[in-house]
Amino acid sequence: MKMGATEIIVLIVIGLIAGITGGMFGLGGGLIVIPALVFFMGLTQHEAEGTNLAFMLAPVGLLATINYYKSGFVNIKYAVIIALAFVIGAYFGSIWALHLPANILKKAFGVMIILIGIKMIFGK
């Protein structure tokens, strides 16, 4: 499947924005890439989530993590525990997501982003 120049440029822009927000705020994959793939690239919610997980398999955030570690802002013990739990959670979460219709999954994703945003803005 051959990609056109416009497609490649849009994907590069999505990656750069996700990388910048990932480096600045610790987010990017779910919050930036998934909606961008759905709205700009026309992927389904399932395709966007699968593609997001695929690109995260590589050492995403490695250089940003090194910078934070060098500055003393990485709790290795927490990161290891979260990583182990994340592997288990991602496995079961993907199984459950694949059994949901794309429109329900997309709406649930949107609601989750809104609720987290409200908590971040108005929470302590």
Q: Which amino acid is at 66?
A: I
List, for the chain, all residue ranges whose pLDDT scores fall below the cut of 70.
Answer: 24-29, 57-60
Number of domains in the chain: 1
49-67: pLDDT as tens digits: 888 877 776 666 788 788 8
pLDDT in the model for residue 57:
64
Cα separation of 71 and 111, whole Å?
A: 35
pLDDT in the model for residue 59:
62
Cα separation of 103 and 86, whole Å?
A: 25
pLDDT in the model for residue 71:
93
Residue 56 is part of which domain span?
5-122
Cα separation of 7 and 3, whole Å?
A: 6
